[in-house]
Amino acid sequence: MDTARTRPTRLDRVFSGIERVGSKLPEPFFLFVYLLAALAVVSTAIAAFGVTVDVPGKDEPVPVRAVLSSEGLVWFLTNFVDNFIGFPPLGTVLAMMLVVGFAERTGFLSAAVTLVFGRAPRWLLPYAVAFVACQAHVMSDPSLIVIPPLAALVFKAAGRHPVAGLVGAFACGATGYGGGILVGSLDGLLVGITEKAVQIAPLGVEVHVHIAMNYFFAATAGLLLPLVGGFLIDRVLEPRLGPWSDPEGEQAAELTAQQRKGVWRAFAVLVGYAVIAFGAWLVPGSFLRGEDGSLVPSPFLSSIVPLIIIAFLLAGLAYGLTAATVTQRGDVPRMMTETVKDMAGYIVFIFVAAQFIALFTWTNLGTLIAIGAADGLRAAHLTGFPAIIVMVLLATVANLFVTSGSALWSLLAPVMVPAFSILGYDPAFIQAAYRIGDSTTQAVSPLNAYVYILLSVNRKYQPETQLGTLLARLSVFVLPFFAVWLLILAVFYFFDLPVGPGSGIRL
């Protein structure tokens, strides 16, 4: 045996330690039960001192509310069911998983992956997966549901560990969320908030605010981060998972002529559907355009989730009818029902997690953390690139508590944009810097509901996987991605490169 190759490296020992600590975390259900109890105590203690938060744009201070008060208990009891049913990701997740599960059970997903990637070089797969995942913000949050399971199938079809593809794709999609070579819904959300923040403090100069004002910066990240992500998947994550052996004994097999025909027919249907959907969006006067005929924002971008749902449903049907995996009408609801059964654990977890997140929002503790940190940064009178780094770190830490990128930027932008604009920085550059914080820690936030979707899918391949183990694997990507993000930002800053068309570093 080659002992030199089997001896643990320092990096192995670090990640083993993270996994040991993480494995001591309770099951997600009980983790949020304990967090609920802690939130009740902390919010009540802070509210007892009459703490308030001055939120830019609001006429009166926002108070921190106590959970253990008559007001808090009444709010909790009267909103208990609504907190669960109205949990924002719940509807999206269930609807997406219904059709993704249907497409998987018809055999379309595995057949399509085999056809497209079956002959691809094994070494290329981690980089291909990382590249696709790092463009994920075009699809918005559904990308974190759709892309990782497909990446797992890609790795499995190539005889590689599917968990490496699954976790790697999620990590790249989340930590690289602010980058990408295409303009997407995230750009529209951020620029709308930035535009309002610019109006808070008159700058005396004309400021160009538009949806592509971060394009050069985001596109650079979308090209460089996949190289880092692919390397981490291939050289760090997958080796730690050990050799893969399918517990069901499945072997990659050549597709039959009927299966190939089914895949090509499904692809043809998807192309036709895309042409119709995008055509209806681009044609002047379309109902899918926004006010005054604008492309962004528009009903088309607001309807990304149902449009994707229809795409999976059409592809699954086209393949299933051709490959004879769907032979009667009852097969469709049956396959969807089986998918819902697989989601039972997630629904139970969300039952308690939704209560914590709703209460956390109601108490205004997240607002207190974000605004308090922003005010502290402004009071420190930092200047130059160190001030930018501190702002990025603030957004990075705050992103652990306020996982909605638009919600967090809504809190930070009214403080950060005017403060840094007064120092001479272009709001486009401030928004670009924020994208780093909004991305880097998203994959390891315990408040990110999509992490628990990932955990449930992970357990299909490794039933014994614990939350701590998963977070340890995801943490592999956080610091390297953060370092590369900062390096890209530094290059733009010190070489005074435009972060987007007509948008520079300084005003």
**286: helix, coil or strand?**
coil
pLDDT at 200: 62
Instruction: Give the separation between CA 161 and CA 166, rounded to whole angstroms.
Output: 9
Structural contact between residues 163 and 152, judged by C-beta atoms closer than 8 angstroms: yes
Instruction: Decide the pairing of beta strands 52-53 and 62-63.
Output: antiparallel
Instruction: Give the separation between CA 259 and CA 252, rounded to whole angstroms.
Output: 14
Taking 50 as the pLDDT cut, the residues of the chain under it are 1-5
Type of residue found at 293: G
pLDDT at 175: 95
Closest to 319 measured CA to CA, from 103, 18, 505: 103
Instruction: Give the separation between CA 131 and CA 445, rounded to whole angstroms.
Output: 22
Q: Which residues pair with 52 in a beta bridge?
A: 63
Structural contact between residues 85 and 103, judged by C-beta atoms closer than 8 angstroms: no
Q: Which helix (H) or strand (E) holds 98?
A: helix 88-105
Instruction: Give the separation between CA 55 and CA 391, rounded to whole angstroms.
Output: 18
Q: What pTM did the predictor assign?
A: 0.77
pLDDT at 2: 41
499, with CB counted inside 10 A (0-12, 13-18, 19+), is buried
Structural contact between residues 438 and 178, judged by C-beta atoms closer than 8 angstroms: yes
pLDDT at 202: 56
Q: Which residues pair with 60 in a beta bridge?
A: none
pLDDT at 346: 76
pLDDT at 370: 67
Q: What are 42-75's pLDDT values in tens digits?
A: 999 999 999 998 876 677 888 999 999 999 999 9
Whole-number average pLDDT of the chain: 85
Q: Which helix (H) or strand (E) holds 337?
A: helix 331-342
Would you say the C-alpha torsion 413, 416, 419, 424 has a positive or negative sign?
Answer: negative
Q: Which residues contact 307 (CB under 8 A, 6 or more apart)?
A: 277, 300
Closest to 63 measured CA to CA, from 84, 48, 75: 48
